[in-house]
Amino acid sequence: MNKKPSEISTVVIISKNHQHTQSVQIKTKHLNRIRHYVYSALSVLVVLIGLVIYLRAENFRQEQEKQQLLAQIVKLKGAIPVASVQGKEGSAQSYIQAIEGKLKTINNYLKRRGLKGFSNKGIGGDDNAEGKKLTDKEVYSLYNDYLSRLVGTIAFTPMGYPRISSFTSFFGYRNDPFADGHAEFHPGIDFKGHKGDEVKCTASGKVVFAGWSGGYGNCIRIAHINNLETVYGHLSKIKVKVGQEVNVGDEIGLVGSTGHSTGAHLHYEVRKNGKPINPVNFLTLNK
């Protein structure tokens, strides 16, 4: 059946030198809707650009928070001009007090995460009879060694995000997604994601489990210091092996929807002494 003339429009394309022309027949309704098509395409583009900008900004903010503690320690290690304060007891004492104050702040950050913190006992000689015999340089050296150990310890403490994305479920009781009207305890937090998105470990440690684990599906468990353990579940792919040593920020697997899952996401847990604790307390420093 032939289309009515009004249903078809002819677009004539003329070359720059006007020597060649070409005509194209297009349905008139498409020409009338071309403005809507352009607006729709631009809207999608704006949303995508906005999403990329947001994720990059969020990633940058979290990375800065994650590095804040380590940066503070690094500054402490290099901030003391030993030569200029030797022989000046008042100046030396003020530097030591400043260091002790910052170490106390660091300990408070760690204690808020359920960790023991770090003892200052013995650092700088404890101002006892033997300690008073130490030179300023020896006192600074003791603090420097302590800070070096502290930097290493913090690397093994879960901090930050295993992936930068929004949450789809939080720690605690919630409605069971597989049984309407029933409540279940959710021992971690879920991060939104797509199959194949990378998953990073939040602290250095040793892989103690890598395989299928019932409702967790493909699962990884990593042991850290202070009897802490992190768990990564529902993975589409596991990239580590049991016994492998991993460093904070290493890619250990890919997001998936294996096991007891309604869609692609990352299930993340922090456990202490084998019991789940709220991972939200470990995501930022300022909690």
Q: What is the pLDDT of residue 103?
A: 72
Is residue 143 pLDDT above 80, yes or no?
no
Question: For the whole model, what pTM was predicted?
Answer: 0.54
Mean pLDDT of 263-272: 94
Average pLDDT, integer, range 251-273: 93
| pLDDT at residue 84 is higher than 50 | no
pLDDT score, position 86 = 46
> Mean per-residue pLDDT for 32-51?
79
Residue 169 has pLDDT above 70, yes or no: yes
Type of residue found at 257: S
* Largest Cα–Cα separation, the chain: 108
Percent of the chain clearing pLDDT 90 (strictly above): 27
Q: What is the 3-state secondary structure (H, E, C) of the chain?
A: CCCCHHHEEEEEEECCCCCCEEEEEEEHHHHHCHHHHHHHHHHHHHHHHHHHHHHHHHHHHHHHHHHHHHHHHHHHHHCCCHHHHCCCHHHHHHHHHHHHHHHHHHHHHHHCCCCCCCCCCCHHHHHCCCHHHCCHHHHHHHHHHHHHHHHHHHHCCCCCCCCCCCEEECCEEEECCCCCCCEEEECCEEEECCCCCEEECCCCEEEEEEEECHHHCEEEEEECCCCEEEEEEEECEECCCCCCEECCCCEEEECECCCCCCCCEEEEEEEECCEEECHHHHCCCCC
pLDDT (tens digit per residue) in 175-215: 766 666 677 888 999 999 999 999 999 888 999 999 999 99
Which has more confidence, 124 or 140?
140
Q: Phi first, then psi: give them for residue 17, nearest 5 degrees.
A: -90, 5
Q: pLDDT-based confidence at 69, cuts 50/70/90? A: low
Least reliable range by pLDDT among 23-32, 141-150, 204-213: 23-32
Question: Whole-angstrom Cα distance, residue 199 to residue 235?
Answer: 9
Whether the predicted pLDDT of 272 surpasses 50: yes
Query: Is 264 in contact with 193 (CB distance < 8 Å)?
Result: yes
For residue 244, name the pLDDT band (cuts at 50, 70, 90).
very high
- Which tops the pLDDT comparison, 90 or 258? 258
pLDDT band at 239 (very low <50, low <70, confident <90, very high): very high
